[in-house]
Amino acid sequence: MRTDATDSIDRGDLEALLVDIWKQLLSIEENTIDTDFFASGGHSLAAMLLIARIESSTGISLPLAALVRHSTPRALAAYCLARSETPHIETSLDGTETQAEYLIAYNEPERQTRRSEAYEVYYATAATSAAHAAFCDLVYGANFGQHGMADVAQLDFLIAKMEIGAEDLVLDIGCGYGQIAEYIHDRTGARIVGIDISSSAVARGNERALSSGKPLRFIQMDLQSLSLPEMKFSKTISIDTIYFTNDLQKTLSSIRQHGTETMRLGVFRTFPLRSFTDETWSPHISELGHNLRKLFGGYEAYDFSKEENAHWRKKVEILESLRSESIKEGNENLFQFRYAEARYEAKIEQRRYLFVTD
Ligand SMILES: C[S@@+](CC[C@H](N)C(=O)[O-])C[C@H]1O[C@@H](n2cnc3c(N)ncnc32)[C@H](O)[C@@H]1O
């Protein structure tokens, strides 16, 4: 079993990733593997962000001093590969790669395609499974065919903090079947448009909306290429979907452009703590926090970490109690899909926040 995050990372991949992170933090045109971070305008806050981004994209935890001594992508990559410390790294979901490799490749096109296919199968199956409905009821407090981590209490919190009301036009990014959107509409009277990569989820959402006559509309779309030119949203929500972009800053800018001038964005997002500690970790050093400040002026982050860690343990427990019912139904694959994920996540210490922009 591998124990070192750097053990199996290819030097070229690591250098390319570091050049990319350099690019995100330094506002200079030319960035190469020999661009010196400090000589090119990197200051101490940017240095902390850089360390945080390296950790969140690779699982490699570095002391600030390492950057001071190895301040180019080439030198820092060499340092990472040579050093002997062994950060705590979990293997990926299928156990065939380290979590660092898994995260580096998380949004590569091939993996995105496989993920979309998996969601397609998930949404096509989950809707007809009584065991899955029971699972959602027990975990989330209502069955909306959820695949995120927000239960009804978190949805109610989101509605209250974002002050969603009947006057709002809301964009729900990664809406699944649209039943979370329907719940929000029922509670607030807001009109809601949802987008999701899964065509079967979206089709189901539109069928429900058509038969209920509620002002809900669902569109199949990749969140990385939002295109709803005729609409201006007053509120936008992303419940466990902001992970799925290759370029967070670009995606958030596009979300911003789809909003009214005073649009507010609410994002639920979980971060594995990995080698951060509560002393060194804060949502404000995350790439998401950094971009929300830059693009939306500011935000409040509400801590749901305790709930998150309990959530995954609860999922494991409830899935185990529903195993035989799922198998009897012929839905063993669906069961395994959720069970493998829940067991993996339950082993990782998580931090979760609702970010709400000003
Ligand atoms: C973790 S689930 C969350 C779903 C829902 N918001 C919830 O809380 O249950 C992620 C959702 O994002 C969708 N998704 C994944 N990649 C996407 C992409 N690139 N663009 C749009 N939706 C995507 C999936 O189909 C899935 O519905």
Whether the predicted pLDDT of 110 surpasses 90: no
Residue 252's contacts (CB-CB under 8 Å, 6 or more residues apart) are 265, 291, 292, 295
Question: Are 194 and 219 contacting, i.e. CB atoms less than 8 angstroms apart?
Answer: yes
Q: At residue 89, does pLDDT exceed 60?
A: no
Question: Does the Cβ of 176 fall within 6 Å of ligand 1?
Answer: yes
Residue 93 or residue 140, greater confidence: 140
Give the Å distance between the CA of 115 and the centre of ligand 1: 10
Ligand 1 neighbour 222 (Cβ under 6 A): yes
Measure the CA–CA gap between 186 and 46, rounded to whole angstroms.
43
Burial 62-79 (b: 16+ CB within 10 A, else e): beeebbeebbbbbbbbee
pLDDT band at 128 (very low <50, low <70, confident <90, very high): very high
Q: What is the pLDDT of residue 84?
A: 47
Overall average pLDDT of the 111-129 stretch: 93
Ligand 1 proximity of 224 Cβ (cutoff 6 Å): yes
pLDDT at 160: 98
Q: Which of 67, 49, 48, 60 is nearest to 88 (CA)?
A: 60
- pLDDT confidence of residue 1: 26
Q: How large is the average pLDDT for residues 327-342?
A: 94
Helices (H), the chain: 11-25, 44-58, 64-69, 73-82, 99-104, 109-126, 130-140, 152-162, 179-188, 199-212, 248-257, 287-296, 305-329, 332-346
Structure confidence at residue 8 (pLDDT): 57
CA nearest to 236, candidates 202, 194, 270, 299: 194
Q: Contact at 8 Å (CB) between 178 and 218?
A: yes
157 lines ligand 1 (CB under 6 A): no
Query: Does the beta carbon of 196 lie inside 6 Å of ligand 1?
Result: yes
CA of 116 to the centre of ligand 1 (A): 9
Cβ(15) – ligand 1 distance below 6 Å? no
Domains of the chain: 11-106 (1.10.1200.10), 112-307+350-357 (3.40.50.150)
Q: For 56-60, what is the mean pLDDT?
A: 77
Cβ-count burial of 229 within 10 angstroms (0-12 exposed, 13-18 middle, 19+ buried)? exposed
Q: What's at 175, amino acid-wise?
A: C
Percentage of the chain beyond pLDDT 70 is 94
Ligand 1 mean position to 15 CA, how many Å? 30
Q: How many residues does the chain have?
A: 358
How much of the chain is helix, strand and coil, in % rounded to 5? 50, 15, 35
Does any ligand 1 atom lie closer than 6 A to the CB of residue 345?
Answer: no
Rounded average pLDDT over 319-341: 95
Q: What is the pLDDT of residue 85?
A: 52
**154: confidence class by pLDDT, cuts 50, 70, 90:** very high
Identify the band that residue 90 occupies on the pLDDT scale cut at 50, 70 and 90: low
Identify the DSSP state of 72.
Answer: S
Q: Is 239 in the pocket of ligand 1 (CB under 6 A)?
A: yes
* Dist. CA 313–CA 342, nearest whole Å: 8
- Mean pLDDT (the chain) is 90
Q: Which pLDDT band, with edges at 50, 70 and 90, does 240 fall under? A: very high
Q: Is the CB of 287 under 6 A from ligand 1?
A: no
Instruction: Tell me the CB-side half-sphere exposure of residue 273, using CA atoms within 13 A.
Output: 17
User: What average pLDDT does this structure show over 218-244?
Assistant: 97
Give the pLDDT band of residue 48 (cuts 50, 70, 90).
Answer: confident
Q: Most confidently modeled of 15-29, 51-65, 132-146?
A: 132-146
The CA 21 to ligand 1 mean position distance, Å, reads: 25
pLDDT(95) > 80: no
Residue with tokens 């994002």: 267
Round to whole Å and give the CA distance between 266 and 184.
Answer: 13
The phi, psi pair for 270, rounded to 5°, reads -110, 140
Instruction: Give, for ligand 1, the residue of 114, 136, 147, 354 to mutate: max count of ligand atoms closer than 8 Å to Cβ.
Output: 147
How many angstroms separate the alpha carbon of residue 45 from the centre of ligand 1?
32
Please give the pLDDT value at position 105. 80
Residue 238 Cβ < 6 Å to ligand 1: no
**pTM of this structure:** 0.81
Q: Report the separation in Å between the CA atom of 118 and the middle of ligand 1, taken as the mean of its atom positions.
A: 11
CB distance 307 to ligand 1 below 6 Å: no
**pLDDT at 2 > cutoff 50:** no
